[in-house]
Amino acid sequence: MTHTVAMMQPYWFPYLGYFQLIAAADVFVLGDDLQYVKDGWINRNRILCNGEPWTFSLPLKKAAHGLAINQRELAGDAEAAMGKLLRTLNLHYARAPYREQVMALLEPLLLHPQANLARYLEHTLRGLCAYLHIETPILVASALPVGAVADKQHRVIRTLECVGGRHYLNPIGGLGLYDRDYFEAAGMSLEFHRMNPLSYPQLREPFVPSLSIIDVLMFNPVERIRAWLPDFTRVPARAATEHVA
């Protein structure tokens, strides 16, 4: 039986903590049927350009508000934009020690011929996990028989039931959203992931944290990154009364 389950929206080249979460779970569920959030991290992230954080984006077709991630599509000029991004990465990370092998990884991921946003992001995340030797099974939420749910917490409980999970590990950002008592009443436990501070040599000082995994890959060997995967703190969940307090 599956023990620990983690679930997140598919993000584009997310920060290292996202991969810590995947690696820590027995099963990771991609929330491809969750609502697309504009100006979030679903189709944008940050790298270093001239020593400063720079945001890059995956262009999407215009669509109605409220659609799910798996209902959004890449724009017609996405391939050209990805070609430009590859040139930008090659230029600004020209002196990074692992540029050559990372560019070889990124090119087929960025130029993957998939129009559906969720499937494109899923392919990217699976490729990055393979590169980092993260073997956690990745499931897609829309393929699970979750059924109708009352709210966010009920959705998580139903997802765990579908995959045989008993423990839910959520990013620390959800600390005030999920209630320990609710999970315990369902016979499940709840905990939160908080990435520990880390730094590594970049091209300039001072160190710029919380960038895309691309930056981490450019400056560090896979073995070092793998050693960082368990470097996080497990934060206990709070009860509803603690949330109110």
For residues 238 and 77, which has the higher predicted lDDT (pLDDT)? 77
Return the pLDDT at 45: 98
Question: Is residue 243's pLDDT more than 60?
Answer: no
**Does residue 244 carry a pLDDT above 50?**
no
Given a contact cutoff of 8 angstroms between Cβ atoms, the answer to whether 184 and 225 are in contact is no
Distance CA 243, CA 245 (A): 5
Give the pLDDT confidence of 17-49 residue by residue, as tens digits.
999 999 999 999 999 999 999 999 999 999 999
Amino acid 2: pLDDT: 66
Mean pLDDT of all residues in 92-97? 97
C-alpha span between 113 and 149 (Å, rounded)? 34
Q: How do residues 181-217 score in pLDDT, each as one tens digit?
A: 999 999 999 999 999 999 999 998 899 999 999 999 9
Helices 99-110 and 117-131: angle between axes, nearest 10 degrees:
150
Confidence class for position 238, pLDDT limits 50, 70, 90: confident
Which tens digit of pLDDT belongs to each residue from 34-88? 999 999 999 999 999 988 999 999 999 999 999 999 999 999 999 999 999 999 9
Domain boundaries, the chain: 4-244
pLDDT tens-digit readout, 108-148? 999 999 999 999 999 999 999 999 999 999 999 999 999 99
Distance CA 236, CA 172 (A): 10
Distances (CA, A) of 12 to 74, 108, 118, 136, 194: 13, 14, 10, 18, 20
Radius of gyration of the chain (CA): 18
